[in-house]
Structure 1
């Protein structure tokens, strides 16, 4: 993923989780996290357990998410240099002039009086400020410190924070329930259009030995008719989907259960896998036999020549090495459900 793709993905995640974007540029986001995003990204289980027990209003964190560090540093460096120059000039001119004017205008008596009274005024103000701070904390009125630094996270492919966002998006979008939004121009205000429920499943299939190849398969099953289609995700690409049931739409009855539909998808996947070429598995089995033969050629004479005390130890080591080689070279096919959902569609039956 390049910086632009990461930027678009992060923006979609922040909007989907209800975060408040305080600042935004092509290179960064300054964002106040929503409670859901804060739970996923900040690793504060004790704080959130306290919030859940007491029912108080949570205070979520503010993060600086930089999607293009080079561009952001260039922009921020130029702004900081300009601001620093202005502050330095203001302190030099204004500070010197103010100090000179105060020194010239103040009478000597006032200067000595001020010097004598300053410690007393500070001493009286300190307990009062401390008391106000205690009351503020007790009533939850303590103001935020404007000088608190916002934590910065550079987002690039492989970074810890981006991996957290990927994992949170996978967990949040693993199972969905969506409805097709019909064309409002074709709807009559007194008509109700039927929606047929479909079970859609994306399956990741792995062909594994000492090498690995993965494929993605998208299946859809109509819960009304039992029709199974492949490339179901491609059919969803051009549709407007919403998590709420649209107006003037009703859901048709389902004749299949979710379990039965899942069985149909499993059967379709098995038929597809049986038609695959498994020459790679035969080659992997040959390599496995060769490795086990070499291992036996090394360990079996060693075990026979060893004394009784060492024989058991060498035999255990031999078995461990055989299991390791089998795990590495034995051909196998794996299947994992990446995500799934119920899709209520008006165009498919």
Structure 2
């Protein structure tokens, strides 16, 4: 059974947000045409771009192809939790835009001004660490009027039009829920989400931690290693196998969404 690569949405949205284009989009792979600015930002070609600027030339930005397979003959960049280019994008996203305030573009006007509901949307990475490691992107939003919370917010807004100024004949509603209170609610919601996931990896990590610790203790008891070596190795075993989950916030923002769109999401 095929599963959806969880990193596709983030990567596509990242590049589209910075003016790049998707020139090939298939189930097995997709190709991005970089802009000059994005090529200079992430492709590590400082000498090339310095030369282009000195020569007053536009330069030739590269293309990137991402795949769902690690088969080398398939070509492209295998998109998974450990992909170096994926972490480059995470760092670039953090550096270029941690916060935003955007308004849904409204083209249809009514006799009365239309109210825009405030949503706090946060994108984060859940770092699962233990015997096996993975990073899970998560996008969560909360309506600051009535407190409705949803996951998968980037998928909901990625095809919508936003501007940094409010559209004519609309007005932003004043939040009822404070940002600090909203963020605390988000944290609790994510904790509930994590608790509902399969925790088999935690059991396996704890079992492996116990086995490795017992083996190390047997070496120490038989005097094969000294106390200093035992202490250092025990610390390394804990670092490798002790399971924990950490949330890293990538970015977030206030999005003012029409009540019609908000109602569609909720219902």
Q: What band does the TM-score fall into relative to the shorter chain?
A: 0.5 to 0.7
Distance 2:255 2:192 in 1: 24
Could you say if the C-alpha distance between residues 345 and 161 of structure 1 is closer, same or farther in structure 2, counting changes exceeding 3 Å? closer
Give the structure 2 partner of residue 67 of structure 1: 63
Task: Measure how far apart 1:221 and its partner are.
Answer: 0.8
Distance 1:176 1:62 in 2: 30
Give the structure 1 partner of residue 186 of structure 2: 265
Task: Measure how far apart 1:240 and its partner are.
Answer: 2.0
Whichever of the two has the greater Rg, that structure is 1
State the TM-score, normalizing by the size of structure 1. 0.52
For residues 251-306 of structure 1, give each alpha carbon's deviation from its aligned partner in whole angstroms, at most 9, with x where no partner exists. 11111111110011111112222233323212221211111111111123327xxx
* 1:242-257 matched pairs, under 5 angstroms: 242-257=163-178
SS of the residue corresponding to residue 61 of structure 2 reads strand
Distance 2:136 2:84 in 1: 26
Give the structure 1 partner of residue 199 of structure 2: 278
User: Do the aligned partners of 2:205 and 2:242 also contact (CA within 8 Å) in 1?
Assistant: yes
| Alignment pair present for 1:299 and 2:220 | yes
User: Do the aligned partners of 1:202 and 1:217 also contact (CA within 8 Å) in 2?
Assistant: yes
State the TM-score, normalizing by the size of structure 2. 0.66
User: Do the aligned partners of 2:131 and 2:204 also contact (CA within 8 Å) in 1?
Assistant: no
Distance 1:276 1:166 in 2: 24
Distance 2:116 2:63 in 1: 40
Higher mean displacement: 316-325 or 242-251: 242-251
Higher mean displacement: 272-281 or 59-68: 59-68
| Alignment pair present for 1:201 and 2:100 | no
Give the structure 2 partner of residue 179 of structure 1: 103
Could you say if the C-alpha distance between residues 254 and 162 of structure 1 is closer, same or farther in structure 2, counting changes exceeding 3 Å? closer
Q: Which of the two has greater helix per residue? A: 1
Could you say if the C-alpha distance between residues 274 and 175 of structure 1 is closer, same or farther in structure 2, counting changes exceeding 3 Å? same
Question: What number of residue pairs does the alignment pair up?
Answer: 221
Between 1 and 2, higher relative CO (CA 8 Å, sep ≥ 6) is seen in 2
SS of the residue corresponding to residue 223 of structure 2 reads helix
User: Do the aligned partners of 1:13 and 1:169 also contact (CA within 8 Å) in 2?
Assistant: no
User: Do the aligned partners of 2:144 and 2:176 also contact (CA within 8 Å) in 1?
Assistant: yes
Could you say if the C-alpha distance between residues 42 and 175 of structure 1 is closer, same or farther in structure 2, counting changes exceeding 3 Å? farther
Alignment counterpart, residue 229 of structure 1, candidates 150, 153, 165:
150
Give the structure 2 partner of residue 149 of structure 1: none
SS of the residue corresponding to residue 202 of structure 2 reads helix
Could you say if the C-alpha distance between residues 206 and 225 of structure 1 is closer, same or farther in structure 2, counting changes exceeding 3 Å? same
Q: RMSD value over aligned CA atoms?
A: 4.0
Mark the runs of 5 or more structure 2 residues left unpaired by the alignment: 6-11, 21-30, 48-54, 65-75
SS of the residue corresponding to residue 287 of structure 1 reads helix
Could you say if the C-alpha distance between residues 250 and 331 of structure 1 is closer, same or farther in structure 2, counting changes exceeding 3 Å? same
Task: Measure how far apart 1:344 and its partner are.
Answer: 0.2
Q: Which of the two has greater strand per residue? A: 2
User: Do the aligned partners of 1:204 and 1:214 also contact (CA within 8 Å) in 2?
Assistant: yes
Give the structure 1 partner of residue 245 of structure 2: 333
